[in-house]
A and B are shown apart, each in its own frame.
Chain A
Amino acid sequence: MNEHPALQAAGLGKRYGSKWALEDCTLEIPAGSVTALVGPNGAGKTTLLQLAVGLSEPTTGTVRVLGHSPRDEAVSVLPKIGFVAQEHPLYRGFSIKETLKLGQKLNPSWDDRVALDRIERLGLPLRQKVGTLSGGQQAQVALTLALAKRPQLLFLDEPVASLDPLARREFMQSVMEVVSDTGMTVVLSSHIVADLERVCDHLVILARAHTQLVGPIDEIVAGHRLLVGPRADSAAIARMHDVIRESHTERQTTLLVRANGHVYDSSWQVLEVDLEEIVLAYLGYGSDRGAAHAAAREAVAR
């Protein structure tokens, strides 16, 4: 196995014109993990993925993939990674057979057996034109192209956003089966939080071009609490714990906190929070709360 982290970013930033698409991003994604990049549209997810696969060049900082720079040492990186771009672009006029042929010509480590087995299991005729396949089938063909090079690390940009629930489930099933067979690392971006907990064990929350939270999902869930109590100032709690989100009504205060150890304060009712609630809190965190939160909720609830 590879002892390098799957992905390592330090001070990574990308600017388009005067706008930073990603700024000061420092994170590490462990090998063997299934990591979700979560955030609303425009948060910097695609930018981060494109930097990771060497499609674009950092404005600041560095990114290393499996221990190497994806642009300066492309030969050491590209054969080991797979990338399925958003909307799974394929040549619509090509048949499946021609599409696989193209994959074979472009990838030295191509394994035709893997590709043909997958297409057969999907029940797709090799002569069929890609443009006539359903969205779910096209996604599966795009995934096949990425898997047939037997990648150590697979990047998926919004892989299931355009798929119906059944196709979504089938797509993730395919990915998870390969993970259990080969230990492949997966990094996938998504603006849909529901169901992520089923497939992912690590999480990166991106919002407004910055990373908000990085870590193993079970630690994240275990480390956050919802405090509900009579209307009060959050200052006392904020001395001990990180207050991520606060809301007040006339008589009641609700705080979502990242707890540093136990919460010892009898004036609060302490509740557990689920992942979706935590993610939403972080997406609304740090700017004008109400507006940002509403926008984030809209983006994520889709």
Chain B
Amino acid sequence: MIEFHLDSRSGVPTYLQLVQQVKQSLRLGILQPGDQLPTVKEVVGSLAINPNTVLKAYRELDLDGLVEGRRGQGTFVSSDLPPVPPDDVKALRTSLQRWIERARAAGLDEDNMSALFADTVRPPAVSRVA
């Protein structure tokens, strides 16, 4: 069983924070197939949040095929989130390090790089300038 926490200053919608925490726990192996998620009432009781928010998060995880609701029993983890293969992580880190060197040579500091990364990684949604 996991326990949710909320960061009210992150700007990330509450339901999305719950979704991300479940996915994170799956990646880290804290949650495994068959495990039960906290019931809606438990989450509501500990975080004082709207139950519809919890339902929305669980629905989203259900749509992703990660959990399933069992009538009268609760919500259970149904499949694993494949961890990123360590070899890929290594290769990605190496190429990122090269990129950081180039950025530094071009005069970017850490904040500049983070801003550029955040701006590029965001999916092309409404917020993107076309």
Q: Are B14 and A197 in contact (CB under 8 A)?
A: yes
Tally B residues with Cβ within 8 Å of A. Answer: 22
Other-chain residue from A173, A195, A201, A259 in contact with B8 (beta carbon distance below 8 A): A195
Residues of chain A within 8 A of B6, CB atoms compared: 198
For chain A, which range describes its interface: under 10, 10 to 19, 20 to 34, or 35 or more residues?
35 or more
- Chain B interface, >50% SS class: loop
Q: Are A177 and B41 in contact (CB under 8 A)?
A: yes
Is residue A181 within 8 Å, beta carbon to beta carbon, of the partner chain?
A: yes
In the complex, what residue of chain A is closest to B47 when comparing beta carbons? Answer: A198
Residues of chain A within 8 A of B49, CB atoms compared: 176, 198-199
Q: How far is the CA of A173 from the CA of B45 in the complex (A)?
A: 6
Segment touching B, from A125-133, A243-251, A267-275, A293-301: A267-275
Q: How far is the CA of A74 from the CA of B47 in the complex (A)?
A: 36
Q: Are A272 and B11 in contact (CB under 8 A)?
A: yes
Give chain B interface residues in 1-60, CB to chain A under 8 Å.
6, 8, 11, 13-14, 40-41, 44-45, 47-54
Q: Are B127 and A272 in contact (CB under 8 A)?
A: yes
Interfacial residues, chain B to chain A (CB-CB below 8 A): 6, 8, 11, 13-14, 40-41, 44-45, 47-54, 126-130
Beyond contacts A176-B45, A197-B13, A222-B126: 13 other A-B pairs, Cβ-Cβ < 8 A, are A173-B44, A176-B49, A176-B50, A180-B40, A180-B41, A198-B6, A198-B49, A198-B53, A199-B50, A264-B129, A270-B126, A270-B127, A272-B127
